[in-house]
Amino acid sequence: MDYIHINNLKIRGKHGVYEEERKVEQEFELHLKLGVGDTSKAAESCDLADAVDYGPIKQEIEKIITGKSYFLIESLAELISKKVMEDTRIQTLELTINKPEVWANCVPGLTIFRQRN
């Protein structure tokens, strides 16, 4: 299995259990690991049509994070995972969402794993 990574994607949004979190934007840091099968065809052809283009994936994630507010990052993670997995070439997804501005001495977050059946 070959993997595409999108790391350290920083997007500001208004999500959280507490009302203040939904009023004032805070940073969300995302890391994605996309299992895309074998990338040798894309490597040989050097054609983006043979590869999973991570640009549109990044744009969709930005829309989700900057859009509707959610109480839980679990909700964000599930929504993002469903959107990413719409591309049937993506076989697995490992997604981490961190909230680096919540506490001064540590970073809370969530990691989920999804696999196509």
Residue 117's pLDDT is 85
> For position 37, which CATH number holds?
3.30.1130.10
Structural domain that includes position 42: 2-115
Q: Is 99 a catalytic residue?
A: yes
The residue-averaged pLDDT of 18-46 equals 96
Nearest to 84 by CA among 52, 37, 43, 111: 52
Alpha-carbon gap, residue 71 to 99, rounded angstroms: 13
Other beta carbons within 10 angstroms of residue 105's beta carbon come to 4
The helix or strand, by DSSP H or E, that contains position 114, with its residue range, turns out to be strand 109-115
pLDDT cut 70: percent of the chain above it: 100
Backbone φ and ψ of 4, nearest 5°: -105, 135
Q: Is the pLDDT of residue 83 over 90?
A: yes
pLDDT tier for residue 49 given thresholds of 50, 70 and 90: very high
Residue 44's pLDDT is 95
Overall number of domains in the chain:
1
